[in-house]
Amino acid sequence: MNLINGKAIAQKILLEIRAEVDALKARGHTPGLAVVLVGEDPASRAYVRSKDKTCSELGMFSQKFELPATTTQEELVALVEKLNADPLIHGILVQSPPPPHINEAAVIEAIDPRKDVDGFHPVNVAKVALGDPDAFVPCTPLGCQRLLLEAGIETAGAHAVVLGRSMIVGKPMALLLMQKGPGGDATVTVAHSRTRDVAAVCRSADILIAAIGKPEFVTADFVKEGAVVIDVGINRVNDPTAKNGTKLVGDVAFAEVAPKCKAITPVPGGVGPMTIAMLMQNTVQACKRLNS
């Protein structure tokens, strides 16, 4: 069993990005990312901090907007429009999920598609479906594809099962795996909560991408011998033996699944670091395009 070390691969990518940032700065352009958070969600706050920290380590410009949960739809859209017009900002990210009174789809649509580094604007969703190389691809599926490439996993002709159908991971992941070229050309099945005999469908996979948001849902009987498993899940569960009483687990029951795998990602240290690396990569791309 080969452990795919997302942390090490993300570090390698961040070094490449650092060199690109330096080259852009030498030409008078500093990639800028604005991250907007509405409300007090602790997990979202932690994500925002880590994105901010990575920006500064790479020499990028970063602006953090932490807005109260009482922020109105109009105020949030007005901030997005201000950032659309700001030449120092090349990427805009509104942290999900916002409070219930905010219409998230309307906020995403207010973002300039050229600054939509999360890849959720309808224009970018359509471009991904069309295989347009100018698309901004959502960071998590893009990170999964890069992990497969870096780990030398052959996707062409492989049967890939994507477990989960969200717009954030499942749907774009399936589209990426189907595209022509490196990291694509797979035969793709999308399984979800309504799939009949989901374990049997997953068991047919050469490559299984688990993104269903249920702790340790994928057990040994979901995985065939010699499969590759990419675990997208990040779930906090109770653990009385841990210092703070909780621990992070994926959507895969790692201890029982790993021995069957040709390769597998751990949680933490697998897909998570790649998501942030891809966000930085998308922001650098946006800076290049907006200044070309």
Catalytic residues: 51, 95, 118
Question: For 221, which DSSP code?
Answer: G
In whole angstroms, what is the distance from residue 66 CA to residue 61 CA?
Answer: 17
- Of 274, 252, 257, 246, the closest CA to residue 220 belongs to 257
Kindly state the tokens that stand for 186.
């797979």
- Of 210, 211, 208, the closest CA to residue 224 belongs to 208
User: Which residue type, as a one-letter code, is found at position 43?
Assistant: A
Contact 91, 31 (CB under 8 A): yes
Max distance between CA atoms of the chain, in angstroms, equals 56
Give helix then strand counts, H and E, for the chain: 10, 11
Distances from the Cα of 131 to the Cαs of 31, 115, 137, 167, 172, in angstroms?
A: 25, 19, 10, 16, 11
Contact 207, 159 (CB under 8 A): yes
Distances from the Cα of 84 to the Cαs of 77, 105, 114, in angstroms?
A: 10, 17, 9
In whole angstroms, what is the distance from residue 211 CA to residue 122 CA?
Answer: 22
Contact 149, 183 (CB under 8 A): yes
